[in-house]
Amino acid sequence: MDNRKYEALLTVAETGSITRAAEQMGYTQSGITQMIKSLENELGVTLLTRTNRGVSLTNAARELLPLMRDEQRADERIKQQCAAFSGKTAGRITIGCLSSVSESWMPSVLETLASRYPGIQVSMKEHETPMLLELLADGSLDLAICEITGESTPLEVVKLHTDEIIAIVPQDHELAGRGSVTLQDLSGYPFISYTIGETSLGYPGWPEAIIKRKVRFNIAYSCKDNLTVIKMIDHRLGVSLASDLIMRNYETSAARLHLDPPIYRDIGIVKRPAEKDLPAASAFTSCLMEFIKNEYHI
Residue 101 · residue 245 · CB < 8 Å = yes
Q: Evaluate the CA torsion angle 29, 33, 34, 36 in order and state its sign.
A: positive
4/22 Cα distance (integer angstroms): 12
Residue 155 · residue 264 · CB < 8 Å = no
Amino acid letter, residue 199: T
**What rounded mean pLDDT belongs to the chain?**
89
Helix 18-25 and helix 3-15, axial crossing angle in degrees, nearest 10: 130
Check residue 208 and give its pLDDT.
66
Amino acid letter, residue 60: A
Q: What percent of the chain has pLDDT over 70?
A: 93
Nearest to 121 by CA among 67, 156, 79, 86: 79
**Which residues touch 61 (CB under 8 Å, ≥6 apart)?**
9, 13, 45, 47, 48
Check residue 249 and give its pLDDT.
86
Check residue 199 and give its pLDDT.
41
Q: What is the mean pLDDT of residues 189-213?
A: 67
CA dihedral 88, 66, 95, 56 (to 10 degrees): 130
Check residue 198 and give its pLDDT.
45
pLDDT band of residue 256 (cuts 50, 70, 90) is very high
Nearest to 166 by CA among 262, 237, 252: 262
pLDDT band of residue 202 (cuts 50, 70, 90) is low
Counting other chains too, the contacts that 76-79 makes at CB distance below 8 Å and 24 or more residues apart are 76/278, 77/278
Q: Any idea what DSSP says for residue 240?
A: E
CA dihedral 199, 197, 228, 173 (to 10 degrees): 10
pLDDT in tens, 88-120: 999 999 999 999 999 999 999 999 999 999 999
Check residue 295 and give its pLDDT.
94
Helix (H) or strand (E) holding 294: helix 279-296
Q: Evaluate the CA torsion angle 63, 93, 247, 181 in order and state its sign.
A: positive
Longest dimension (CA), the chain: 69
**Which residues touch 293 (CB under 8 Å, ≥6 apart)?**
none
